Amino acid sequence: MLKLELRPQASNFWRYGSPLLALVITVALGIGLFVLLGKDPLRGLQMFFWEPVKSAYALGELMVKATPLLVIALGLAVCYRSNVWNIGAEGQFVIGAVAAGGVALLADKETGRWIVLAVILAGVAGGMFWAAITAWLKDKFHANEILVSLMLVYVADMVLGYLVYGPWKDPAGYNFPQTKTFETVTQIPRLMSGSRMSVGLIIALLGVAAVWIFLFRTRAGFAQQVGGLAPAASRYAGFSSRKALWLALLVSGGAAGLAGALEVAGPLGQLTPYVPSGYGFAAIIVAYVGRLHPIGMVFSAVLMSMFYIGGELAQSRMGLPKSITGVFQGLLLFSLLACDTLMTYRLRWQSRSV
């Protein structure tokens, strides 16, 4: 019989092998799911793993999805390495989008291209403000940041709904709950014609480098990680837990707000009730599949965006429900949690005693 045996020390091999094994298990479970639903499993896998990369245009769309996931995940990695559990990146994403959209609505035909920078900075400020509420309640009243940040997601959704159904509603929009389409001058510059891929991808990759340098090459980043791993040692070394809390949440909120700004001033081009797309929650999976490492999260963001695009294609071409995307995301997360057991435990055969 199989028995789990505690390892003398954590396995470095399974630290990086676990996400790969989790992906294999997810694919295997996905094949079984397609069979149960009466769909061709090979065609289903084609929707998720081939269609998103089969052409230059498809790769561009893949990057459009991966950019906000990566940007949000980078901020969450700083939080989680600091032992600060921000679960409300979705709300910070929405408020960042609202703040960016508010600035974009101020533009007219004569506005210069400088407005793009103002839109991006507004998104960052909006996300930081929303995260600062959680930081303040945690700092002053010891409120649980998990519950506070999560509940603020629903408040953010209501703020967005109030604006697009109320004062920001487009009077020429045939009564649809949406703002007017933003002026062209507010749009994030695209990297190439014929593709929706924007300079947001470059910003995300610069963010990867910045977070890597911060976490692994600066004293402040070292302090954040020590505070997360060993709070007592952090206090003994003179590192401030309050500073670590505020820094982690402001960085995370700013990153989520930046993603919101890039989304509404890029692919969306206006505010609608559908701005909340689950990126803030999916980025949690991206962060952990990428092992909270900036480089690893690049690959996990691409994988998660394949699930998004594959789910949309499976819905339109195979008649599968919209929830298939969430199913694959959940399968990947739970497979990863199960496979992570192999880091601290190993499987041993043990004969049954007679």
Which of the residue ranges 159-173, 245-259, 317-331 would you say has the lowest mean pLDDT? 317-331
What mean pLDDT is reported for the chain? 93
| pLDDT over 70, % of the chain | 99
Task: Give the amino acid at 69.
Answer: L
pLDDT category at 354 given cuts 50, 70, 90 is: very low
Query: In terms of Cα–Cα distance, which of 94, 151, 89 is closest to 283?
Result: 89
pLDDT in tens, 136-165: 999 999 999 999 999 999 999 999 999 999
Report the range of poorest mean pLDDT among 129-138, 156-165, 188-197: 188-197
- Find, among 50, 81, 119, 145, the residue nearest to 261 by Cα: 119
Span 17-62, pLDDT tens digits: 999 999 999 999 999 999 999 999 999 999 999 999 999 999 999 9
* Average pLDDT, integer, range 176-182: 95
Q: Which amino acid is at 265?
A: A
User: 269 pLDDT band (50/70/90 cuts)?
Assistant: very high
Q: pLDDT value at position 231?
A: 79
Q: Which residues are bridge partners to 348 per DSSP?
A: 3
Give the residue, 194 or 35, on which the prediction is more confident: 35
Q: Do 96 and 132 touch, CB atoms closer than 8 A?
A: no
Over residues 184-192, mean pLDDT:
92
7 or 74: which leads in pLDDT? 74
Residue 352 pLDDT greater than 70, yes or no: no
CB 47 within 8 A of CB 310: yes
- 316: which residues sit within 8 A by CB, 6+ positions away? none
Model pLDDT, residue 353:
58
Strands (E), the chain: 2-6, 345-349
Rg of the chain's alpha carbons, rounded to an integer?
22
Q: Which of these ranges, 213-217, 234-238, 303-307, 350-354, has the smallest mean pLDDT?
A: 350-354
What distance in Å separates the CA atoms of residue 264 and residue 272, rounded to the nearest whole number? 9
Comparison of pLDDT for 194 and 168, the residue scoring more: 168
